[in-house]
């Protein structure tokens, strides 16, 4: 019995880590639906936080020595990490509005064109989510604004494609239009769960240069946990560096 409790205590942190990290690939590869994957994630967090008092209690009771003590300590740290990862995601989700369609132009959001066939079966439609979402974005992300640069559309268009390539997004389309504007469309796939978020970059002539607007929208889920806003911010920063 004592040996069994030692094995349970030692393995608890690592079991939690396994549950947390297998949740993403299980959804990405189609083994579980999203609800089941999130349930697995939650259980990983529960097991992770429960492993800490279990390990501490066992260590106080049995007073192990040598390598087993080190292994228990590692398991406890792993358990804490397994709890912290989903918990931090949950905290982030509580701090941002439950929206998934973000744009730098709330009055006239860039429209998807080349992306449309790829979103045909997506739970979230390609059309802009509307004023309710726009109001929440204004309150949560007031810093998201168009980028105005003193460079011609052609230069910005080329730089935007370079940034898309550098970010390893899947390019869906890039074209310069007859009205002098240009558009780049791409898809960013997240590493862990494989969520697909679509991006459209619109470049228009503006005074002595160009105006850049970006829209990023998730195909699945009510809340993006702030991912689309972060993606736009990063793109704008990278674009400015590319244009220097």
Domain 101-243: state its class.
alpha beta
Question: Above 70 in pLDDT, residue 2?
Answer: no
Percentage of the chain surpassing pLDDT 90? 90
Contact residues for 182 (Cβ-Cβ < 8 A; gap 6+):
153, 154, 156, 157, 160, 174, 175, 176, 202, 203
Work out the angle at residue 101's Cα, subtended by the Cα atoms of residues 199 and 222, and round it to the nearest 5 degrees.
125
Q: Please say whether the dihedral angle defined by the alpha carbons of residues 230, 174, 127 and 135, taken in this order, is positive or negative.
A: positive
Give the integer Cα–Cα distance in Å for 41 and 15. 12
Tens-place pLDDT, residues 204-231? 999 999 999 999 999 999 999 999 999 9
Q: How much of the chain is helix, strand and coil, in % rounded to 5? A: 55, 15, 30
pLDDT-derived band of residue 183, with 50, 70 and 90 as boundaries?
very high
Tens-place pLDDT, residues 22-76? 999 999 999 999 999 999 999 999 999 999 999 999 888 888 878 889 999 999 9
What mean pLDDT, rounded, does the chain reach? 95
Mean pLDDT of 191-210: 96
């Amino acid at each position: 019995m004592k040996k069994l409790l030692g094995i349970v205590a030692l393995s608890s942190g690592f079991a939690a880590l396994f549950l947390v990290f297998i949740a993403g690939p299980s959804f990405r590869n189609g083994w579980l639906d999203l609800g089941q994957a999130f349930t697995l994630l939650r259980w990983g967090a529960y097991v992770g936080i429960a492993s800490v008092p279990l390990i501490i209690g066992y260590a106080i009771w049995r007073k192990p020595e040598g390598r087993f003590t080190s292994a228990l300590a590692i398991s406890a740290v792993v358990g804490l990490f397994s709890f912290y990862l989903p918990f931090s995601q949950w905290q982030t989700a509580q701090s941002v509005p439950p929206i998934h369609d973000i744009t730098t132009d709330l009055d006239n959001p860039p429209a998807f064109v080349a992306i449309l066939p790829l979103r045909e079966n997506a739970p979230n439609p390609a059309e802009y989510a509307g004023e309710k979402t726009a109001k929440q974005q204004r309150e949560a992300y007031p810093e998201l604004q168009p980028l105005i640069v003193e460079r011609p559309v052609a230069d910005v268009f080329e730089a935007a494609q370079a940034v898309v390539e550098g970010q390893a997004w899947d390019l869906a389309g890039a074209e310069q239009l007859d009205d002098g504007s240009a558009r780049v469309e791409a898809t960013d796939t997240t590493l862990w769960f494989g969520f697909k978020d679509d991006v459209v970059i619109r470049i228009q002539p503006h005074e002595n240069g160009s105006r850049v607007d970006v829209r990023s929208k998730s195909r699945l889920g009510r809340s993006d946990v702030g991912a689309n806003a972060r993606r736009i911010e990063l793109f704008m920063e990278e674009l400015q560096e590319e244009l220097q």
